[in-house]
Amino acid sequence: MTSTASSSIDPADVERFSRIAAEWWDPNGKFAPLHWFNPVRLAFIREQALERFGRDPAARRPFEGLKLLDIGCGGGLLSEPMCRLGFEVLGVDASERNVATASAHAAEQGLPVTYRVATAEQLLAEGAGPFDVILNMEVIEHVVDPGEYLRTCAALLAPGGLMIVATLNRTLKALALAKVGAEYVLRWLPAGTHDWRKFLRPEEVRGFLDGAPVEVAGPFGVAFNPLSGRWSRSNDTDVNYMMTVTRPAA
């Protein structure tokens, strides 16, 4: 699989995540860092979507009637809470094992999340969507051609829609903390999970979408506090950050 009309996915990364797919929902397993990270990600997504679509923050399911695509959904750690908030959710991943894990877990929870093995390029070629919200979380640093991939995802966005991109900054601080520290010192992640050379600076993410009919905002930083063991929003974008991509309403 290379950067073609059918896939921009790096097969080595797909295989790496497939080998540990059964551990997605173990809060103490190999995906524990994502479980720690999830509260701040979910809060940011909810906040941005509430503002974008003018929904009632007090509503139990404020996003009824909106379609959401979770691209690179893994085991469904974001897809499931998005479904609970009222979105009609499609989660896609290039790994069959990830999709099998996500599907089984959603069924156990009685959640009507639709999962399938697919890539952004396949969805666009099939005429899928458009989607009101696209979650592009910790995926872009794993693809072959991040610019083409991001433009493909943006093309799946509905008029008035919102895409949230989360990734890692290509800084020496990120190399020390997110690569060496997380993988080899603290062993939070399996060795080889990330390639620092694929980390992206915010200006690169913004540049990928130059000329596309979208508006890009951010970066919005997030940081880990080792004393509290929690992630929180931060002005520090040197390691982890998020950006929003919005398409003007028609």
| Binding site as annotated, residues for S-adenosyl-L-methionine | 41, 72, 93, 137
What's the rounded Cα separation, in Å, for the pair 47 and 60?
Answer: 14
**178 neighbors 239 (Cβ within 8 angstroms):** yes
Other Cβ atoms closer than 10 A to 240 = 25
Q: Residue 126 class from Cβ within 10 Å (0-12 exposed, 13-18 middle, 19+ buried)?
A: exposed
Other Cβ atoms closer than 10 A to 203 = 9
Task: Determine the longest span between alpha carbons in the chain, in angstroms.
Answer: 50
* Best CA proximity match to 45, nearest among 118, 172, 170, 132: 132
Q: Name the binding residues.
A: 41, 72, 93, 137
Q: Which helix (H) or strand (E) holds 223?
A: strand 215-225
Question: ω before 130 within 30° of 0 (cis)?
Answer: yes
Give, in degrees to the nearest 5, the angle at Cα 46 between 97 and 210: 80
| Residues 6+ away with beta carbon under 8 Å from 24 | 31, 74, 75, 76, 77, 98, 101, 102, 105
Q: Which helix (H) or strand (E) holds 233?
A: strand 230-234
The structure tokens listed for 184 are 């080899």
